[in-house]
Every structure is written in C-alpha cells, then in structure tokens.
Amino acid sequence: MAFRGCRYCFVLLLFAFTFPAIQSQTAAYQNSALPVDQRVADLLNRMTLEEKVTMLAGAGWMESPPIERLGIPSIKMADGPMGVRSWMGSSALTSSLSNPVKVESTAFPSGIAMASTWDVDLVQREGKAIAQEVKALGRDMILGPTVNINRVPLWGRNFEGYGEDPYLSGQLAVAYIHGVQGEGVIPSAKHFDANNQEFERHRIDEKIDERTLHEIYLPAFKAAVQQGGVWNVMSCYNLVNGKHCAESDYLLADVLKKEFGFKGFVVSDWASTYSTAGTVNAGMDLEMPGGPPMQKMLARPQTQEQGSSGGWLVADKVLAEIKAGRISEATINDNVGRILRVIILSGLMDHPHTAGGEVDTPEQQAIARQGATEGIVLLKNEGSLLPLDSAKIHSIAVIGSNAVFARTGGGGSSRVQPKYAVSPLEGIQKRAASTVQVTSALGVGMEGEDPAHDTAEARANDLKQAAEIAAKADVAVVVVGRYWRNESEGFDVRTMDLPAGQDELIQAVERANPRTIVILNTGDPVTMTKWLDNTPALLDMWYGGQEAGNALAAILFGNANPSGKLPVSFPKKLEDSPAYGHYPGENLHVDYAEGIYVGYRYYDTKNVEPQFPFGFGLSYTTFEYGNLKVYPSIIQQMGEKPGHGYLATLTVTNKGQRAGAEVIQLYVHDGHSKIDRPVHELKAFKRVELKPGESKIVHFSGDLSAFEYWSPQTKQWTHDPGTFEIQVGASSRDIRLKAPVQITR
C-alpha cells in the first residue's frame, strides 16, 4: 500500500514537471511574449490544409472565417474611410431605409477635405478617432484610407481620396494608418492600383506604362507600406495592362510584396476575383465577401451585368487546384501566414474587440470640426469682403439646397450615418445668434432629389424668391454643389458643370446683391466661368462631415482663419484636363496617354493656366517668405547605407493682424535630366501656425528620392547627378524662393 502511494506520488511529480513543457509546446502561438513570426509558424504547423484554405475566403459580407479549434478569431470589418458605417451589406442596402442594422457614428470630413488641411498630425488624430469608434462598435478593421490619384475631375470617388499628388497622398495615408494601427485596428490602403474612374470599373482595362505607374499611381501605396507599415492593402476592380488587379502577379507579388516589402495581407475589393489558381498564385490572400451573402450577391442579374465576380477562393475550389498541382501548399502557407501575422500584430489574437464603447464623443466631434475648418479653402476675397463683421453686417441671406441640407459626404461605401449633422444654414444661424438677421431660401432644388422642385416652373419661382431675399440682405451666401446621389462610388459625375439651375442661381443672386459669397460644397472641381468674374468671395468647403456648418460659420465670421490649400488643380473647363480625350476609354480600354503629366505636373509644365492651381489657398492674413538656405547633406535611413540628400531652411513671417497657418510647399526642379520630367514636383511640405508679427524658421530635409525618377531602361529609381533647384512657395504657381543644390552620386 505504501509502495502504491509512493508510485502515485511519483506520477504526480512527473506530471507536474512535464506539464508546463507540454503546455508551452502546444500553445506557443498563444504566448504574446514570443516573436510574431514564431507564433505564426507555430500556428501554421498546427493547422490542417483544410483549415488553411478556409481562411482564404470570407465567411460573410464583412467577416473573415474564424478557426475556432485554434482560437483564431474572425476579422470583423467595416466600411470607411471617413467613419464607420453599417457592415450588414452593400452600400445600396445600408444606405436605404430598409437597412437591417442602423449604425450611427461620427461623419468625419471627406478625404479631399482632410487633404486640404495638409495637416498630417490632424489626419493621424482622425485615424485614431475612427479606430476608437471601430473598436467601440465591436469591429476590427476599417476599409480605408483611399489613396487613389485624382486623374480626372469627373471620377465619382475623388472626394474620398487625397488629391492629385502622390507625395501628398502618401504622407496623409501614412498619418491615417499610424492613427488607426496605434489603436490596434487594421486599416486597408485602397484600391491597389489605379482605380481612377467608376465608369465600367469592373471591366475597364487601363494601359499604363511602367514609369507612370511608379511615379504617379504607386507611390502612395509605397509610402503606406514602407513608412506606414500598413497591415492590409485592398486590390481594385479594374484591369491594368490586361490583367485584373486581383490576379496581377506583377502588381501584387512583384511590386507590392517584393519591391515594396509588404508583410501584411491583401484583400480583394468586394466581388473582384475571376479565377482560383491565378488569383491565389498572384498574391491574393483573402477574397471578400463570402458565405451566404456572396452566394446571394452572385445570384443577382445585375452582378453579372456590371462585371462583378466572386466565390473563386472557397475551400473546395482551392483544394482542387492544390490537388491538381496548380497551387502549392507553400503558397497557401504564405497567404494564410500573412493573415495570421496581422491578427497577432494587431492584438486580435490576444485581446479581441468587444462592442460597448462610446461613439461620437465630444473629443471625436472636435476632431471632425477641426478637420472641416482647416479644410475650407478661401479661393477669392476681393475687397476683403471676408471675414464678416457682425458689428457692420445686420442681415444675411443664406441660399441653396446645400445650405438648407447638410451634405456630409458623397455616396457609396464611404457614406456615414451620423447622429447629427450641421448644415451651413444652421451653423450660420447659431453663430449669428440675435445680432444678425438670417433669412433663407432653397434657391433651386437639387437635381434629381425632389421632383417637385425639378420643373422649369418650380425653378423659376425658387430663383425669384432667392433673388428677393438676397436684395434685402447686407450679404448673400450661396451654397452650391452636389450630394451623395449624384456624386458617388459606382458612377462618375456626368459633367464638371454644377447641377441644373445652380449656375443660374448664382447669377441671379449676384445681380440682386453684389456682396455675394459663393460656397462650393462638392468633392470635385466645378466649372465657374459663367459667374466667377462677378463673385467677390469664394470658398470651397468640400464635403465637411457632420460639423461642416459650424466650421463654415467660423470661417465666415472670422472666428477661424482659412488655411486650406487645394490638393488638386481646378481646370477652367474639362477640356483643359490632361486626361481629356483619354477618358473614359473605348471598348473597355482606356489609355493613360498623358503619362506622368497628371494635375499640376501637366498644367505647370505645358503652360496651361488652371482656374486655381494646386496648393493654392488664401488667408485673412499675409505671409512673407525669406532667407532660404539649401545644403547638400548625407542622409542615413535606419538600417540603410548613408546617401546623398538635402537640408533646407527658410524664415516665414506673419505680416498681418490675425493669427493664421501657412502651408509651405517645397518643390524640386530638375533642369538637366536625360529624360523628360515635369517642371517641378512636390517633395516636402509643412504647416506652420503663426501669431501676428511672429516669425519661425522652417526646416526641411530629404534623401536622394527627392531627385529620382523611374528609369524604364534599368527598371529602378535613378537620378542624373548635377545641380537641382529647390523651390519654395505657397502653391505650385506661387514660387517665392529658389536655391540650387548640387547632388552627386
């Protein structure tokens, strides 16, 4: 009996000593102290092939499949990038009255409005605030930022992106990504690559040369990967050079994963896959959507009509291709390992997000308001009509359907449903209080919104009423633009002209009251030639989110000083656009024949005068630039060999009586290149806030990339040694200072 007891004790002791080792061996992937790659490798070793291939296709509309046996969570996604919207279906469903799940969150300003701030710190705070709301709603991933380039003024999603310049777009994308990922939420840099039109977006084949891709359409994604460390990239619908992006081994494998060094996972845009082996082997890691929502979507006739496709990466199809030898298990391990890596890096494996936090907090509202305010661009201010002096102004007529109704953003998957939204009229009324009388009129109904105001007779009556109240007021404010049903994902804007009746509205009001302020409330440039010469003051408020009305009122009355700068050139007419004649294409093919000459690169190089140039924006004060000094330098990036670059300093002084912010823009001119190059390119910028009379020294530094171009011959970045010119200015056409810098090999 004693012997048996001792034997029993021995077994217990042996188990006690060996159990920790067994537990450690079986749960290494659960040990947060271990390196990420070790945890991923451990998980892959434990997964069956069937479990691995299951992870390649979505489980629902916005969810990746979990592997419950191993505790691998589903990635729960939500549309963005300007806030969190319902994840229960397509934008057509979630924007309708029959939306099954109502999700209300902060409607932040549109991407183009945030780009107009040129404020990387603010964009990072916006990303952080959006990520906090993602977590509060129990989601894990936000589908943004949109970093596609504004190639044509008519693209239906221009309002989502950061404008026409790849450097500006890239730096703002990096800021947004840092804000989101800092909260343990997964951002998605989209849409890779060259999603620049909605017309036939599922089937259009874009012919783009390799240099143009690398200099214009890839740099923002490169910055997102190499500077932002982004965890996810979304592929796009369109074809590039004959291949759908979801199965382009050149774009996904060669450029994104090898050249850029992307370590995260690639997700398809919804219903944009067209094969199994080709898509997996190209580098697609997760097909969306999946499960019953995918089957329901594919059953709709319109899905096939528009060229959508999906359901190619479901487990049985992938397993069949593996069995046939067309997909290797090593490829599957790479695909799945990338997803696992992000799940672990983001903290989802160790600390899954649970719903229940607060959304649309005062802090989040403040960020939205600051973004809307800083993003407003003052384009014209003759006779210093602005800011309005409430001691001298006793009455204001506020006119326009976009004045009466809050137009927070464009349409499609980015459209957010806020708890409240402040219209321009409401913002002005609140600011005016009892000191200024505010009257209002519809002016003209929004085209296609209300049939009762779409007739010729109704428009005539609305115009008459608008002119009457304008004539009686000290100042008239006319807000014009579009709204989410005529500027949206899924289709391009038909014309650069304002919607029907709005040009006539501006003209009628200006005849009635020469002290008329015109406000643009849209995401694209518009034609202004019919009325601009008679307009003393012009502002662009873009789609400013839920706080846009308050922001506009603060600018109008001088509580805030406008500091926005255009992130996109405004052509006088569509025919002046560099892509004119090469959009939207013919027979499902479009040639990017303008090449690298997009936006100001075209206007400034070819001497085509825009209505308003890239980087332009006025202030209620004036800034003086001086004392530019530029030096060649040796720059060493972490982990890289030292390389040549530049250092630049200048002094900026606020010469006016109001505090204000100036965006100093640095361009590089290469006058000796062996290859055709734009007259100059943006390579740095800084937003500086200055009190009246205050001066600050502004510092810039850059590496060799500021002087490089993509060589089609060597297929790499290169430069021609010699003397370059550093140009510093307030817009691409307002260069204040220049200095040479010698760059050698």
Task: Report how far residue 230's alpha carbon sits from residue 182's, in angstroms, rounded to the nearest whole number.
Answer: 11
Query: Which residues make Cβ contacts (< 8 Å) with residue 618, sequence separation at least 6?
Result: 378, 379, 380, 381, 562
Collapsed DSSP state (helix, strand, coil) of residue 442:
coil
Task: Report how far residue 577's alpha carbon sits from residue 575's, in angstroms, rounded to the nearest whole number.
Answer: 5
Q: By C-alpha distance, which of 539, 567, 604 is closest to 158?
A: 567
Longest dimension (CA), the chain: 112
Instruction: Give helix then strand counts, H and E, for the chain.
Output: 22, 25
Rounded-to-10 torsion of CA 636, 640, 641, 643: -50
Of the chain, the end-to-end C-alpha distance in Å amounts to 87
Single-letter amino acid code for the residue at 119: D
Task: Report how far residue 621's alpha carbon sits from residue 414's, in angstroms, rounded to the nearest whole number.
Answer: 35
Which stretches of 454-577 are DSSP H helices?
A: 456-472, 502-512, 548-556
* 166 HSE (CA, 13 A, CB side): 20
Query: Which residues make Cβ contacts (< 8 Å) with residue 609, sequence separation at least 6?
Result: 572, 603
Which stretches of 99-218 are DSSP H helices?
A: 111-115, 120-136, 166-181, 210-212
For residue 168, give Cα distances in angstroms to 176, 216, 314, 478, 695.
Answer: 12, 11, 38, 31, 25
Task: Report how far residue 706's alpha carbon sits from residue 635's, in angstroms, rounded to the nearest whole number.
Answer: 12
Residue 299 φ/ψ, nearest 5 degrees: -80, -15
The first and second tokens of residue 652, run together, are 């900026």
Burial of 209 (0-12, 13-18, 19+ CB in 10 A): middle
DSSP-assigned letters across all residues of 40-101: HHHHHHHS-HHHHHHTTB-SSSSBPPPBGGGTBPP-BEEE-SSS----SS-HHHHTSTT-SS
Name the residues annotated as catalytic: 269
Pairing relationship of beta strands 205-207 and 239-240 according to DSSP bridges: parallel
Q: Which long-range contacts (CB under 8 A, 24 or more apart) does 711-718 make?
A: 711/211, 711/675, 712/209, 712/210, 712/211, 715/210, 717/214
- CB neighbourhood size of 258 (10 A): 11
Task: Report how far residue 400's alpha carbon sits from residue 29's, in angstroms, rounded to the nearest whole number.
Answer: 59
Task: Report how far residue 334's alpha carbon sits from residue 3's, in angstroms, rounded to the nearest whole number.
Answer: 55
Let me know the angle formed at the C-alpha of 579 by 575 and 581, rounded to the nearest 5 degrees.
Answer: 65
- CB neighbourhood size of 73 (10 A): 17
DSSP 659: -
The first and second tokens of residue 593, run together, are 């024949």
Task: Report how far residue 123's alpha carbon sits from residue 145's, in angstroms, rounded to the nearest whole number.
Answer: 11
Task: Report how far residue 469's alpha carbon sits from residue 159's, in angstroms, rounded to the nearest whole number.
Answer: 32
Task: Report how far residue 594's alpha carbon sits from residue 571's, in angstroms, rounded to the nearest whole number.
Answer: 16
